[in-house]
Structure 1
Amino acid sequence: MRGPRRLILDRVETDYIRSQIDSGDNVRIKSALQSLSKSYRRGRTVHPSQLIGLVNSVTTTAFRPTIDEKVRRWVLNALARVGDAGTCIPAVQHLIKNHPDEPQTVAAGVAAIYKLCIRSDPAKALARINFDPQMRTLAALQHIPATQLDLKELPLDVERATPDLLKLALIVVGLDRSPENLLNPRHSDAEMVKALGTHHDPLVSQYCVWAITENDKLRVVHLGIDLKDIENHPDNVRGWLFQLLAIEATAAQPYWEYVSLGMGDPSVEARKGLAVGLRNTFVDIFEPLVMEWVTTEPDAEVRQHIMDHIVRQARHSRRYHLYAVEIYDGEPPGSLLRNSMEASAIQTPIYAVFRQIGAGAQGLFGGITMVDKQYNIGNLNAGAVGFDSSPAVNYGATNVQVLSQQQVQAIESELAKLEAALHDTTGLPQEKKHEALTYVSEAKEDPSPSKVGKVIEFVEHLGTLAEAGTALAPYAAALGTALGAALGM
């Protein structure tokens, strides 16, 4: 569910992160720092040869007067992960001392100092800085084992604790670093996360959902939020809910209606959450939705996150692969989008294709040789099929021919429509619906006449079983027409 883990961040990925940190744009800086911090939380580190330069970029950012509160917090989170005391303590102290009215910034700074001074005395670096003792303990727990801390200030009294303390506690839970019963002496942290999901402060609710997305021991069942009321929650909470549902989505439980709802949410923040959550998720049923979403999404940042999903999951979807290559090929060398796509493609099959284009080879429509660009068709037999006005197509022995990209896309488009209709159709035996969807999935992966023909034949068979199956006949007819046109029939 959480995606593959690697020990070392690829150099291309690190270079891209650093370029975003150096951009001066708060949105891009925050996104890059979030990505860097999450990589470290997942056990991945920057290559030693790139570390000094990256740390310099983060510490320089700490002293920029133009960064906002969210960036300040993420700078501190990143310094705690990648920095060292000698280089980074002055930057941390600068942010704490200059923003004492920002409790979350101060807490992130305290946490950073505990991490950076883990082999020395953090109290010395924190001298002359006043803060709540519970806050200090919760901040320290983000990096220091509970066994090495004085926990006399815990557990929290959730009925009286301020939202800022509750958010800090939920961060500790999300990082899976909390001592037993951090939030209540009589209830587990999972139970308390569920209870706090309905807290009156929307940021506390948001942090509850964040904790579930981060902690592998927590799942959707630990939400204290009724998903049926998802549209009634604030933008920030919806964003994290959509992100969690996208992360948790599987073929067995795709959360189809919520993912579809998220793509059309009026809030940029909510749509961004969904796009980020899809990063390491691929479910067949999402493919046509995503392909439509990426072309209609008005916000540039959200579109970039959707493209991140498409690139990372291109190995599972031929449509994603073709679209990603076409977009990459159309971008000028060194563009922000190209660099972003390369960073997303690291250690996936499509990265080699990007490198070919980047090295000066012709793009997809200029003749790069790719195994899955075209299909050689011959000696195939799938019988004759026809519905209503569609021609009866015989997929018997033919001369070898190549389907063009446009022809394949026309077939894939009809397959996507049929797939959506199957999901929406009621009244079919469940095992037959599953079998039909399996045939469709196989045909999407390899839209050869034999596999497409199986889809058409099976849908025709469904029409003899149930009235609901008959309603699918027009979709099969359109699919047969597209295939017949491709084969010149």
Structure 2
Amino acid sequence: MDISAILTLQEEQHTILQLGRDDRVVQKCLQWLEGELRKGRHPSDARNLRAAVLQCVERNDLKVKRWALNVLSELGALGQIEILDSVFPHVGNDPDLLASAVRLLFREARQGPALNLLQEKEVGLGALALIAGSEYSAELRKRLVAERIPLDHASPEELRAAIVLAGRGKAPEFLFDKSHENRTAIPNLNLHDEPSVIKYSLWYMAETNTEFSHLKIKLEEYDACDPQVRKWILRLLFSNEAVLSQNIDLISHASKDDEVDVREEAAIGLRNSYVDGAAKEVIRWFTNEGIEPVRHAIIDHFAKFAHRNERYESIIREIYRSETFRSPLRGRIEAAVAGTELFRQLRFFEIKEESVDLFSNDNDIEGFMMPKLVQNFPNAQIGAVTGGGAINIEYQTVQGGLSPDAVATLIKQIFAVTELLSDVDSRKEGELLLDELKAQPKEGFLKRAIGWTQTITSGATAGSELVNAGTELMTTLQGIGGVA
């Protein structure tokens, strides 16, 4: 399995927390999640994430409802089409919501039941529903191929649905024009009269990495464009490193835009782009930016590329240290740097903070671990912590009622976790813990063991063998320390 195709534990945790916040934050989070899922990145265990998204469907904000449905079209709703009962009363005045609902309906139900439900909800199978449903219905797709969506007289709603279908990679080729492929036909919609259609055409170009040269809007006309068009021009431009390097001056221009949505979308475009010459402009923008969502999007950029820019790394460290213990922004930064050396260092910093509260008096917890432990590793070097063998325990004192079986369990679990580590420094720490445990634990042993376990499991992929082994070890450690 490609580990990069799995959402990290930090990304899952941060996403679930974000989905419990205000509607604007939830919408942005759902948009990010839908994009990641569509790229092939999935949670190792979708249950908690799916439950959080299902709750979003019940929110009053129609944009949140729509994006929750879009996410479920990727994540799956386990056949729970009853969630659409709270959606269909609103689709009459919201064509985009209708398209999302129909798409999910045909994903979760066979064509017959899906058509019956549409009839029951008094929703006809017009062009819009035909386009949306064709993604998961072979029969509707055949009809769509035959009928096409003509560029010259299709409604804005139909064009938006068709663009989404193409952007998701599910549209039949030559959907808009029998003489031109979708990738060459859709950029022509940059010049449509309806700003929402222009926006969707720009979204398609960004999603499919269409060459910036295909943009039909001249940059000198940028300021005269509608805000929803401006933000997607910037998103398209900033998400392409080669183009960004030729238009660095637009970073300063974007930072001064009066519309918060434009600035935020531009900052989101920087999440996956880094240009050396642009770093100073981005830092200047961040310093002068007063709106939190925009600042957070820029922080994502800093965190993603901290390994390439010392000033970025310094900013991330400063922000992390200034935040309160386990704050949402710390969680956001951890999600952005998960799996890196910076992540490990930031987690050590937070664990030290946690230890101050959790272990205010080491004398209260250290007396538990006083047996003399001897383990035989046949045909192995102790320093390398490889091999196996029976564990023998010779009592000196055992305070706190710790049994020999509990000590043996702890040794085995630390050994099992250490064997799964590839990082040299983390593995060495595990080996030192084992050596100390086999001799006589020093003051602070439990605190250090818990801190080490938290760090290595936090950087691992949810549901992985390392997370499972680390969770078992953490349960044992916390139980021994009386903090379970």
TM-score by length of 1: 0.68
The one-letter code sitting in structure 1 at the alignment partner of 2:335 is A
CA distance in 2, matches of 1:62, 1:212: 28
Task: State the secondary structure of the residue aligned to 2:93.
Answer: coil
Q: For residues 93 and 15 of structure 2, what CA distance do their matches in structure 1 show?
A: 29
Q: Residues 148 and 176 of structure 2 are in contact (CA less than 8 Å); yes or no, is this contact kept in structure 1?
A: yes
Matches within 5 A, 1:100-249: 100-117=92-109, 121-129=113-121, 130-143=123-136, 149-151=142-144, 154-216=147-209, 218-249=210-241
Aligned with 1:31 (options 2, 10, 28) = 28
Higher relative contact order (CA 8 A, sep 6+): 2
SS of the residue corresponding to residue 157 of structure 1 reads coil
Judge conservation of contact 1:331–1:338 (CA < 8 Å) in 2. Answer: yes
- The 1:153–1:29 alpha-carbon spacing in structure 2 relative to 1, beyond 3 Å, is farther
Paired letter, 1:110 = V
Whole-angstrom distance in 1 between the partners of 2:103 and 2:267: 29
Q: Which runs of 5+ in 1 are unaligned?
A: 363-489
Match of 1:61 in 2: 56
The residue aligned with 2:13 is: 15
Contact 1:158 1:166 (8 Å CA) reproduced: yes
Query: Aligned in 2, Cα 1:128/1:21: closer, same or farther, shift over 3 Å?
Result: same
Alignment of 1:294-443 (within 5 A): 294-360=286-352
* Distance of 1:117 and 1:254 partners within structure 2: 48
Q: What CA distance in whole angstroms lies between the structure 2 residues aligned with 1:346 and 1:33? A: 20
Cα RMSD between the aligned structures? 2.3
Task: Give 1:298 shift.
Answer: 1.4
Aligned to 1:398: none
Give the CA deviation at 1:146: 8.5
Contact 2:102/2:133 (8 A) holds in 1 = yes
The alignment status of 1:79 with 2:61, answered yes or no, reads no
In structure 2, C-alpha distance between the alignment counterparts of 1:228 and 1:251, rounded to whole Å: 16
- Who is 2:479 aligned against? none
Which structure has the highest helix share of the two? Answer: 2
Equivalent position amino acid for 1:22 in 2: G
Whole-Å Cα distance in 1 between the matches of residues 183 and 342 of structure 2? 39
Code of the aligned partner of 1:165? E
Contact kept? 2:337, 2:343, Cα under 8 Å: yes
Residue aligned with 1:197, SS = helix
Q: CA deviation at 1:299?
A: 1.0
Name 1:286's counterpart in structure 2.
Answer: 278
Point out the more displaced range, 230-239 or 350-359. Answer: 350-359
Q: Partner of 1:17: helix, strand, or coil?
A: helix
Q: Partners in 2 of 1:310 and 1:272 — Cα distance?
A: 15
Amino acid in structure 1 at the alignment position of 2:175: L
- What does the per-residue CA deviation read over 1:421-458, in whole Å, with 9 as the maximum and x for residues that have no partner? xxxxxxxxxxxxxxxxxxxxxxxxxxxxxxxxxxxxxx
- Identify if the C-alpha distance between structure 1 residues 93 and 149 changes in structure 2 by more than 3 Å, giving closer, same or farther: farther
Aligned-residue offset at 1:304 = 0.4
TM-score where L is the length of structure 2: 0.68
Distance in 2, Cα, partners of 1:91 & 1:309: 36
**Residues 262 and 274 of structure 1 are in contact (CA less than 8 Å); yes or no, is this contact kept in structure 2?**
yes
- String of CA shifts for 1:363-398, please: whole Å, max 9, x gaps: xxxxxxxxxxxxxxxxxxxxxxxxxxxxxxxxxxxx
Task: Tell me, in whole angstroms, the C-alpha distance in 2 between the residues paired with 1:349 and 1:342.
Answer: 11
Is the alpha carbon distance of 1:208 and 1:21 closer, same or farther for their aligned partners in structure 2, counting shifts above 3 Å? same
Q: Distance in 1 between matches of 2:243 and 2:58?
A: 47
* CA drift at 1:53: 1.9
The answer to whether the Cα contact below 8 Å between 1:167 and 1:204 also exists between their aligned partners in 2 is yes
Q: Distance in 1 between matches of 2:244 and 2:233?
A: 19
CA distance in 2 between partners of 1:320 and 1:71 (Å):
32
Letter in 1 for 2:15: I
Alpha-carbon distance change, 120 to 160 in structure 1, aligned in 2, over 3 angstroms? closer
User: 2-side partners of 1:152 and 1:131: how far apart?
Assistant: 19
Query: CA, structure 1 residues 349+149, in 2 after alignment: closer, same or farther (shift >3 Å)?
Result: farther
Residue aligning to 1:369: none
> Does the CA-based 8 Å contact 2:99-2:128 persist in structure 1?
yes
Q: Which amino acid aligns with 1:170?
A: I
* Offset at residue 79 of structure 1 (A): 1.6
Structure 1 residues 144 and 11, CA, compared in 2 at 3 Å: closer, same or farther?
Answer: farther
Distance 2:339 2:317 in 1: 16
User: Contact 2:88–2:98 (CA<8 Å) still a contact in 1?
Assistant: yes
Match in the other structure for 2:358:
none
Secondary structure of the corresponding residue to residue 271 of structure 2? helix
CA contact (8 A) 2:156 2:197 kept: yes
Deviation by residue 1:286-315 (Cα, 9 ceiling, x = unmatched): 111111111110111000000000001101
- C-alpha separation in 1, matches of 2:326 and 2:244: 40
Report the alpha carbon displacement of residue 142 of structure 1 after superposing the two structures with TM. Answer: 4.0
Counterpart of 1:115 in structure 2: which amino acid?
Answer: R
Alpha-carbon distance between aligned partners in 1 of 2:236 and 2:113, rounded to the nearest angstrom: 38
Distance 1:124 1:47, change over 3 A: farther
Unaligned runs of 5+ in 2: 355-484
1:277 match: secondary structure: helix
Conservation of the 8 A alpha-carbon contact between 1:193 and 1:224: no
Percent identity of paired positions between Structure 1 and Structure 2: 26
Between the aligned partners of 1:227 and 1:337, the Cα distance in structure 2 is: 35
The residue that corresponds to 1:41 in the other structure is 38
Partner Cα distance (2:138, 2:281) in 1: 44
The alpha carbon displacement at 1:198 in A equals 0.9
Instruction: Tell me how far apart the structure 1 counterparts of residues 173 and 102 of structure 2 sit (CA, whole Å).
Output: 22
Question: How far off its partner does 1:328 sit?
Answer: 0.3
| Contact 2:300-2:333 within 8 A present in 1 as well | yes
Query: Could you tell me how far 1:179 is from its partner in structure 2?
Result: 1.0
Shift of 1:187: 2.3
1:310–1:285 CA distance, 2 compared to 1 (3 A): same
